[in-house]
Every structure is written in structure tokens, then in C-alpha cells.
Amino acid sequence: MEINKNIESIIGDPKKALNRLAYPTILSMLLMFANNLIDSMWVSGLGSEPLAALGFMSPLYLVIIGFGVGIGAGANSLISRLIGAKQYDESNNAAIHSIVIASIVSILILLIGVFFLRDLLILFGASEVIDFAMDYGMIIFLTSYIILFPAVVSSLFRAEGDIRRATVPLVVNAILNMVMDPIFIYYFNLGIKGAAIATVLSTLANLLMMLYWYLIKRDTFIKLSLKYYHSKMEIYKEILLVSLPASCEEVIYSIVAICFNYLIFITAGTMEVAIFTVVWRFVSIGFLPCIAIGVSTITVSGIAYGARNYENFKTTINYSTFISFLITLIICVIFFVFAYPISEGFNFINGNPQMISRTAEVLRIMVFYNLFIPFGATAAYVYQGVGSGFKSLALTILRELVLSVFFAYIFAIPLKMGIFGVYFGAIIGMILGSFIGFACIKLYERSFKKECEKTVV
């Protein structure tokens, strides 16, 4: 196989490679999250109970996407390392292995949804809005293959540096969902079911576009052809060593949201959960630069690692952290300054002044939750890039669960600070965990330098 322009662009200057891969991804993800925010906005017009139901279901929806992102991260990491080592045919084989894994996982998710969804939602505290949550959730779980698969295929495009084809379908997805939401929710009078149907149909369009390029047009660097497929347990193992921890990380993010929902519910009630549902969407937007730059970092750090290029590896870590923090800072300032008009936009249908004011207040608090995430997130994504998925998972567990949720509980319940303690504790835990993660990856960078020096000698 001959390398193309996309491959050439990601094996040279790591700064240029990160810029080329990350910024289009940021824009597409911003559009996707704008779509999610608009989704919440339209559902808020149905009342606080459907919006709260969406909040309880959202973590499970993100778990499904998380498995796709995790499998994609494993494929991206391995394919990038194989490209760095110039093993191009084997990269095709790895891509097909990731498709097999995704197919198996999607079937398992469907079965879990059919048999256990109601019990899970009740366990998470959604008993008061269970009918609304089931209306939305069952549609999502029955179509889990459609929800999960685009994240996997998109990661294959990123691994070969084809950022246009990785992002354009996401843009189409977001635009279609924005258009279809009000049609299915209000025009067809389907309520929260309409929001789920719009999500599935727009995601299906995303998937069909990417499959057209790989299976019909066939002009990609990576080839999804059975002639390259040779089942190897070693390849499954290499993908799973990153994808399992990465999927668990996505699950952890959802568990964190569930834990926060529960703590908020017992300290402040259903209305505060509905408010937090809106605010958490903005927290997710603030995390977007870390995700977009992070998935690009998997590719660039993986190639540098595969080629045993220490200087490119070091530059990738430092530059990724810098641009992630800079963009996150800008987003946090915007959210803090314009918190009230942003919150007002979510209540333009029912115009609830109490909800508007409280949403703005919580949003101003939670921007500090986001501010230092780039330091810890960069470390996690670099570990994924070099194939050390479980180190990435350990840092995420420390940052999100052990510290953020623990401190949120301590401040809210034992210290009796109530709802403010939930938010304050989460922020303290996130800051501590992020800087611990960054210290770990800098130590790993030093050990990689010694490894490269031994290789040269």
C-alpha cells in the first residue's frame, strides 16, 4: 500500500497534525453538542418531568456512545501505531477486527436494554418520571447498533488522517436532528418519543454516509475488505487493551452524572435535577476541546510512539495540553459572562423565571469544574495512544469517581453543605485529579526518552 496525502500529513510535524485533526473535530463536536442542547431545549417545552427523564436517560445513552468511542479508541491507537511502523496491510486487518468487536457489543447492549432498562432507570432514581424515561430509552436501546457504530467507523477515518470524512457525517447528523426534533416532538405530537426517533434517524444518515465511502466508493487508505481479514487473538487483545478501559472511561463519565443526579435529587429535588441536566450539557461542551484534541492526540502520539520518535511524542503532549487549556478557558469565560441569557434560551417556551435564574447560577459554579480538565484528559488520551489503556482508566477513575464524586458526597452529606457542597466538592476533586494525571504522563515521557535513547544506541 502507498501512503496518501492524509497519511503524510500526520507523520510529520505533530503540531500541524494536531491542528489539522483537532480543529475540524472541535467544530463538528460543537455542532453535535449544540444539537444536544437544542434537543434539551425542545424537550423542556414538554415540562420539567420529561426534561428530568431525559437527564436520567442521558447517562445510559452516553454509555452506548461510549462503547463506540472506546472501541474506536482501541482501533485508532493500534492502527496509528501500525502506520507509524509502516505495517499498512496489518492496519486493514485491525480495522476489520474493530468492526467485529462493535457488532458483538451492540447486540449485548440491545439485550440489556430489552430486559433490564426499567430496573436500571429506577435504580438511578427515575421512578417519578419512569414512563417518560422508558419512552425515550427503549427506542435508543433497540437501535443501539445505529447509535454505537458511527463512533467506531469515524475513528478509522481519524486513524488514517481523513478528517473531512470523519467530521462531515457528524455535521449532517446534527443538522438533521435539529430539523427533525420539533417535527417529531410537536408536529407529530410524539413528545419525548419524537426526540428519540429524531436522534436515531439522524444518526442513521451519519452511518450510511461513512459506509458508502468504505464499502461502495472504496477510495480510502484503510480498506474494509475481507481479503485483509485474518482473525488474530493478538489483534483483538491489542484493541481491547485500549478499548475496554476507554469504554469504561465513557461509562465512568455516565456513572459520575448518575451519582451527581442522585446526590442532587436527595439534597434539592427533581427540579434541581432538571436544571443540572441543562447545565451538564454545557459542562460537556466545555469538555469538547479535550475530547476533540484528545482523539487527535491518540493518533499523533500513537504514530510517534510506533516510530520511536521522542521529540514528536514530547511535542504532542505539551501542545495538546496547551491548546486544550486555552480553548477550555475561552469557553468557560463565555459561559460565566453569558450564563443568564444562555439559561434563558432553554426556557423560551415556558418562560419559568425561577428555572432560568437557578440554571444561570449553577452554570457559573460549574465552569470551574471544567477549567483544569485538559491537564488530566491529555494524560489519559496519550496513554491510550501508546496502548496503555488501563493506565488511562486508572487516572480517569481517580479524577472522576474517587475524587470528584467522593468530595461531592463529603461536602454535601457529612459536612451538611447540601446542594452547594455537591458542586463545590466535584470541582475540588476534579482539580486534584487533573494535576495528578498530568504529573504521571510527564514521568512517562521521561521513561520513553530513555527507551528511545537505548534504541538509538
Give the position of cell 457528524.
170
Cα angle: 444, vertex 450, 452; to 5 degrees: 100
Q: What is the pLDDT of residue 369?
A: 92
> Residue 383 carries which DSSP code?
H
Sign of the dihedral through C-alpha 319, 12, 390, 328:
positive
| DSSP three-state, residue 444 | helix
Report how far residue 30's alpha carbon sits from residue 292's, in angstroms, rounded to the nearest whole number. 10
Report how far residue 206's alpha carbon sits from residue 171's, in angstroms, rounded to the nearest whole number. 8
Report how far residue 443's alpha carbon sits from residue 293's, in angstroms, rounded to the nearest whole number. 21
Q: What is the pLDDT of residue 415?
A: 92
Containing H/E element for 87? none
8 Å CB contact between 378 and 290: yes
Containing H/E element for 434? helix 418-456
Q: What is the pLDDT of residue 440?
A: 94
AA identity, residue 416: K
8 Å CB contact between 81 and 305: yes
Give the position of cell 489519559.
380
Residues of the chain with pLDDT under 50: 348-349
8 Å CB contact between 421 and 427: no
59-80 burial code (b ≥16 CB/10 A, e <16): bbbbbbbbbbbbbbbbbbbbbb
Q: What is the pLDDT of residue 153?
A: 94
3-43 pLDDT, tens digit each: 666 666 667 788 888 888 887 777 777 776 666 777 777 88
AA identity, residue 132: F
Report how far residue 317's alpha carbon sits from residue 303's, in angstroms, rounded to the nearest whole number. 13
CB-side neighbour CA atoms (13 Å) of 392: 29
8 Å CB contact between 312 and 336: no
For residue 202, how far is the Cα from the chain centroid? 18
CA distances from 394 to 164, 177, 369, 391 (A): 33, 35, 20, 5
> Residue 226 carries which DSSP code?
G
Report how far residue 395's alpha carbon sits from residue 33's, in angstroms, rounded to the nearest whole number. 25
Q: What is the pLDDT of residue 290?
A: 84
Q: What is the pLDDT of residue 432?
A: 94
